[in-house]
Amino acid sequence: MNVNTKNNGHHAAPRCRFCQAELSHTFVDLGMSPLCESYLQAEQLNRMEPFYPLHVFVCDNCFLVQLEEFVSPEHIFSEYAYFSSYSDSWLDHCRRYTEHMVERFALNGQSLVVELASNDGYLLQYFVRSNIPVLGVEPAANVAKAAQEKNVPTLVRFFGQELAAELVAQGKQADLLIGNNVLAQVPDLCDFVAGMKLLLKPQGIITVEFPHLLRLINENQFDTIYHEHFSYFSFLTAERIFAAHGLRLFDVDELPTHGGSLRIYGCHADDSSETVTARVGDLLAREEAAGLNNIASYCSFAEQVHRTKRDLLGCLIHARAEGKSVVGYGAPGKGNTLLNYCGAGKDLIEYTVDRNPYKQGRFLPGTHIPIHHPDKIRETRPDYLLILPWNLKAEIMQQMSFVREWGGKFIVPIPKAMILD
Ligand SMILES: [Zn+2]
Helix (H) or strand (E) holding 113: strand 113-116
CA of 24 to the centre of ligand 1 (A): 11
In the reported structure, the alpha carbon of residue 241 is separated from the centroid of ligand 1 by a whole-number distance in angstroms of 9
Q: What pTM was estimated for this model as a whole?
A: 0.92
Reported as a single tens digit per residue, the pLDDT across 352-372 is: 999 989 899 999 999 999 999
User: Ligand 1 center to residue 178 CA distance, Å?
Assistant: 24
Residue 25 C-alpha to ligand 1 middle, in angstroms?
Answer: 11
pLDDT recorded at residue 366: 97
Q: Please tell me whether residue 96 adopts helix, strand or coil conformation.
A: helix
How far apart are the CA of 64 and the centre of ligand 1, in A? 6
CA separation for the pair 54, 68 (Å, rounded)? 9
Q: Do strands 113-116 and 174-180 pair parallel, antiparallel, or not at all (unpaired)?
A: parallel
| DSSP category for residue 369 | -
CA of 292 to the centre of ligand 1 (A): 13
Per residue in 162-202, pLDDT (tens digit) is 999 999 999 999 999 999 999 999 999 999 999 999 999 99
Question: Is the pLDDT at 6 greater than 50, yes or no?
Answer: no
Beta carbons of 304 and 220 less than 8 angstroms apart? yes
Long-range Cβ pairs for the range 366-371 (8 Å, 24+): 366/33, 366/34, 366/49, 366/51, 366/336, 366/339, 366/340, 367/336, 367/339, 367/340, 368/40, 368/45, 369/328, 369/339, 369/345, 370/346, 371/39, 371/331
Q: How far is the CA of 237 from the centre of ligand 1 (A)?
A: 9
Distance CA 11, CA 104 (A): 49
| Alpha-carbon span 236 to 173, nearest angstrom | 27
**DSSP type of residue 86:** G
pLDDT tens, position by position, 90-112: 788 899 999 999 999 999 999 99
pLDDT at 86: 63
